[in-house]
Amino acid sequence: MDHGKANQAPEILLSRYQIEQRVGELGAEITRDYHGRAPHLVGILKGAWVFMADLVRHIDIDVTVDFLGITSYGSGTKSSGEVKITKDLDVSIENREVLIVEDILDTGRTLKYLQQVLSAHKPRSVRVVTLLDKRSRRIVPVRADYVGFEIADVFVVGYGLDFDQKYRELPDIHVLRPVVQPQPTDS
């Protein structure tokens, strides 16, 4: 399916200004909740890297950061929850207050997998912050502790999110609609 280019059909779902304000609010909430607890933020690559970079600058307590790289097995099994780790954690999370940082929560399969994998390393706690939540798409009953925006079931790109590895660099979040080819008519 050809989704076209985001900059040819720039329907903005969430502007950079809306995002900035909401990320600031999330940072303030996390600052309050984790006072005296130095959370260890684990960003999930690749999509969460832009959000994570902005979020840490709105958290006004000591934090440490790490990244976990994951990819779905094969293009046809996206969102199957069967993922391959492409970059492991650099430091132990044992006894740490882990905060998973995701760009989007969709079926919930990836998060379920992540919670299982990270919990096996005996952290003190594991919580989740996601910028976007497509709650209507949930298959596995997981929830995030902090949600930036609940969105409808539309394909979004920008601010770290991609289509076929493109558009991650866009400052706003766009809806990417399939390009509908005109059909020949019988006449």
Q: Which residues bind ligand PRP (CB under 6 A)?
A: 44, 46-47, 72, 78-79, 81, 102-111, 162
Q: Give the closest residue to 52 by CA, choosing from 61, 64, 62.
A: 64
Residue 42 CB coordination number (10 Å): 25
Give the residue with the Cβ less far from ligand PRP, 37 or 135: 135
State the minimum distance, in angstroms, from the CB of residue 43 to ligand PRP: 10
State the minimum distance, in angstroms, from the CB of residue 35 to ligand PRP: 28
Pairing of strands 40-45, 64-72: parallel
State the minimum distance, in angstroms, from the CB of residue 95 to ligand PRP: 25
Residue number with the shortest CB distance to ligand PRP? 47
Structure-block tokens of residue 158: 């920008």
Q: Strand, helix or coil at 29?
A: helix
Interatomic CA distance for residues 135 and 146, integer angstroms? 13
State the minimum distance, in angstroms, from the CB of residue 112 to ligand PRP: 8
Give the residue with the Cβ less far from ligand PRP, 61 or 145: 145
Residue 101 CB coordination number (10 Å): 23
Catalytic residue chosen out of the listed positions 60, 66, 90, 106: 106
Give the residue with the Cβ less far from ligand PRP, 41 or 111: 111
Strands (E), 89-140: 97-105, 125-133
Give the residue with the Cβ less far from ligand PRP, 38 or 154: 154
Please name every residue paired with 60 in a beta bridge, in sequence order, or none if there are none. Answer: none
Pairing of strands 125-133, 97-105: parallel
Only one residue has tokens 């929850």, namely 81
* 2 labelled catalytic: no
Query: What are the catalytic residues?
Result: 106
